A and B are shown apart, each in its own frame.
Chain A
Amino acid sequence: MSLESLLIVAAIIFCIGLYGALARRNFIAVLMSVELMFNGVNLTLVALGRYVAPYAVQEQLSAVFTGQVFAVFIITVAAAEIALGLGIVFAVFRSNESVDLTDAATLRH
């Protein structure tokens, strides 16, 4: 397990999520893909915090946690995004009777 292998795994997860977000028609599937992208980013941040950042760490040892702090913030933002995203899913489903994004080109009814 090295920094590079962790970064490559994170990049693969991120890009699978990117493909899903671009190529799926179902609103919920797109939201799931966005969550995958968040996970890839979190993995990158924690890996960088675990293996890199000596300058800050030399001054203050608790700076080894910086990557983890960023990951905590991203998880929080992801939770907020899901709360809003699923709210929009239900609103679109109520007005269109489907969660197909090609039918939901406009968000009005």
Chain B
Amino acid sequence: MWFEHLVFWVLSVVAIAGALGVVLVRDLFRAALMLATAFVAVGGLFVLMNAEFLAVVQILIYVGAIAVLFIFAVMLTRDVQQGNAPNRLQIPAAVISALVLAAMIATAVSTDWTTLAGAGLEAKAQLAQTQAVGIPDATDLTSAGLTPAEVESVSSGGLADLLIGNFVLPFEAVSLLLLGAAIGGLALARGRGR
């Protein structure tokens, strides 16, 4: 348990330091590398929260694609004198972000969350989440108190079950959005008249 706490604090500090680096470092190339660091740390936090699939997606898409795209963009549009300069709104922006942060922390701390542990579902839910990426073992699940119907729904895919089942309409809509964005990005980057 203490090991989990240690990993959590290390990953949190790395994520926050990376995020601060993105907005404070003047060299944009280094800011992009800081961004990749923060993405990796957030991926680690996903692993801690039993979201292994999402962690892999995070590394593949954010670190593998988005951070690399940013580095390409920085190198193609290098603005040597300017760098990552602040604009005139620096102080109002800091005040606004601090206020938003204070409001969010106050909400997170003062809300009386109905947690899975409080409802006695912690062990079940955790087992269901870890089973989603492992090889489903029905006897393990049954001994944790899952009903046969629940074993069926969890071991038949978990996240994928929900993604292609309950959320199939948003899933299709998002694929259309991606197609539109890809065509739009191509049209914008190609420029006019060529």
Residues of A within 8 A of B (CB): 1, 3-9, 11-20, 22-26, 28-29, 31-33, 35-36, 39, 42-43, 46-47, 49-55, 57-58, 60-66, 68-69, 71-73, 75-84, 86-91, 93-94, 98-102
> What are the residues of chain A within 8 A of B46 when measuring CB–CB?
43, 46
> What are the residues of chain A within 8 A of B42 when measuring CB–CB?
13, 39, 42-43
Bound-state CA distance A14–B96 (Å) is 12
Residues of B within 8 A of A (CB): 4-5, 8, 12, 15-16, 19-20, 22-23, 28, 31-32, 35, 38-39, 42, 45-46, 48-51, 53-54, 57-58, 61-62, 65-66, 69-70, 73-74, 76-77, 79, 82-87, 89-90, 92-94, 96-98, 100-101, 104-105, 108-109, 113-119, 121, 124-125, 128-129, 132, 146, 150, 153-154, 158-159, 161-163, 167, 170-171, 174, 177-178, 180-182, 184-189, 191
Bound-state CA distance A63–B165 (Å) is 11
Is B48 touching A73 in the complex (CB atoms < 8 A)?
A: no
Bound-state CA distance A61–B144 (Å) is 13
Given contacts A8-B108, A25-B86, A28-B77, contact A86 B185 (CB under 8 A): yes
Is B23 touching A62 in the complex (CB atoms < 8 A)?
A: no
> What are the residues of chain B within 8 A of A6 when measuring CB–CB?
45, 49
Is B125 touching A84 in the complex (CB atoms < 8 A)?
A: no
Is A65 touching B189 in the complex (CB atoms < 8 A)?
A: no
> Main SS of chain A's interface residues?
helix
Smallest beta-carbon distance A2→chain B, Å: 9
Bound-state CA distance A19–B12 (Å) is 19
Is B97 touching A78 in the complex (CB atoms < 8 A)?
A: no
Given contacts A12-B101, A24-B87, A28-B73, contact A69 B38 (CB under 8 A): no
